[in-house]
Amino acid sequence: MKKFIVTPWEVSGDIDYDKLIKEFGTEKITDKLLKRIEKHTGELHWLLRRKIFFSHRDMNWILDNYEKKNKFFLYTGRAPSGLTHLGHLVPWIFAQWLQEKFNVEMWFQIPDDEKFLFKPKLTLEDTKHYAYDNILDIIALGFDPKKTKIFLDTEYAKVMYPLALEISKKITLSTARAVFGFKNEMNIGAIFYTSMQSVPAILPSVLKKKNIPCLIPHAIDQDAHFRVSRDVLPKLGYYKPAAIHCRFLSGLSGPHGKMSSSDPKDINTIFATDSAKTVEHKIKKYAFSGGQPTIKEHKEKGGNPDVDVSYQYLTFFEPSDKKLKKIYEDYKSGAILTSELKGICIETINKFLKEHQKKRELAKKNIEKFMLRA
């Protein structure tokens, strides 16, 4: 087995998600848990049915409380280092569904401080600029303005900072090193930052002066931060936040790893603002294919959908299980060629992005309805 790495700052290699569950000490999402969720939601989102959300911490506790009419709130975030890409949207699409089905609040952190501290080249102006750009993508996904609060760390710091101080006082340098692998060259702001990422997990409890369970939908690479939160927050008298974790959408160039905006731009990443033509070009030219070298061979032996990036993208963006199953079988048998599979993928992504981009335009005049201001 090749080595793989999953930390908040680096994701690489061929990720073994079962192994991550063991290493991080999370729990697998079982069919039993899915049934329990479905009892409340009436249906299961395809990201759950396909186990793209595959792991959790304390989901049963969240549901125990929910069933006792003690509602949870959702918390997630986006550190603004560039334009939003398809991979970023995955946990947010699911979070919006959770908000709708459980009728709960969403607290959405935009840690512009984080990317300023971790990306040598970015200024605070840059991260703020990307923050307001990325917020359009968040709003476009359909979060309820009455139940959603979005805030930038630098702007909402007046409220967050005292809480971050309480949290930071309970984290030693040796814990931070052990959890995050910080080296001596690291700036001290970056070491402090994790305290800011813990704050939203208690923010509604503090503001409403009662403990409210928190559920964090996020990609598994952020788990390190929340291991710290779960250790520290009870010491301050709050609940441990629960979490539900998704896998990564890979870049165009291969079935493994995660799509990243820092990759050589147009080669590996599809942005939420890419035109239909650009998407078509990128998928045709760069999407890693599970097909055979020649059409003749492909028709004889069939393709491999399990490593094919276009197929993988369909598992994230095509809602119909029936359609997906047929595509899988037809590609595997050789009945459809790579060019045809890419065509289906292009059509699906472009259909999604067309809607998204329309809503993104409309979001421009609604930003203030979502912003939490100090």
Q: How far is the CB of 76 from ligand TRP (least distance, A)?
A: 4
Q: How far is the CB of 253 from ligand TRP (least distance, A)?
A: 21
HSE value, Cβ hemisphere, 13 Å, CA-based, for 156: 22
Torsion of CA 216, 220, 226, 227, to 10 degrees: 140
> Is 216 among the residues that bind ligand TRP (CB under 6 A)?
yes
Q: How far apart are CA 10 and CA 258, in angstroms?
A: 9
Q: How far apart are CA 137 and CA 130, in angstroms?
A: 11
Q: Which of 58, 112, 113, 114 binds ligand TRP (CB under 6 A)?
A: 114
Q: Which of 57, 78, 227, 298 binds ligand TRP (CB under 6 A)?
A: 78
Q: Which of 127, 148, 195, 222 binds ligand TRP (CB under 6 A)?
A: 222
Stretch that binds ligand TRP, among 76-84, 95-103, 258-266, 347-355 (CB under 6 A): 76-84
> Is 99 among the residues that bind ligand TRP (CB under 6 A)?
no
Residue 264 C-alpha from the chain's centroid: 21
CB-nearer residue toward ligand TRP: 127 or 289: 127
**Token pair 């049934």: residue:** 35
Stretch that binds ligand TRP, among 36-44, 108-116, 161-169, 302-310 (CB under 6 A): 108-116
Q: How far apart are CA 347 and CA 151, in angstroms?
A: 34
Site for ligand TRP in 3-22 (CB under 6 A): 8
Site for ligand TRP in 294-353 (CB under 6 A): none
Size of the site for ligand TRP (CB under 6 A): 12
Is the alpha carbon torsion for 3, 92, 252, 299 positive or negative? positive
Angle in degrees, 0-180, between the axes of helices 157-168 and 188-198, rounded to the nearest 10: 100
Site for ligand TRP in 153-212 (CB under 6 A): 197
Q: Which of 77, 257, 302, 305 binds ligand TRP (CB under 6 A)?
A: 77
Q: How far apart are CA 75 and CA 231, in angstroms?
A: 18
Element (H, E) at 242: strand 242-246
CB-nearer residue toward ligand TRP: 77 or 302: 77
Stretch that binds ligand TRP, among 36-44, 216-224, 336-344, 364-372 (CB under 6 A): 216-224
**DSSP character at residue 35:** H
Please give the residue whose beta carbon sits closest to ligand TRP in the complex: 77
Q: How far is the CB of 95 from ligand TRP (least distance, A)?
A: 9
Q: How far is the CB of 102 from ligand TRP (least distance, A)?
A: 17
**Token pair 């700036």: residue:** 187
Residue 53 C-alpha from the chain's centroid: 10
Residues near 25 by beta carbon (within 8 Å), at least 6 away in sequence: none
Binding site for ligand TRP (CB under 6 A): 8, 76-79, 109, 111, 114, 197, 216, 218, 222
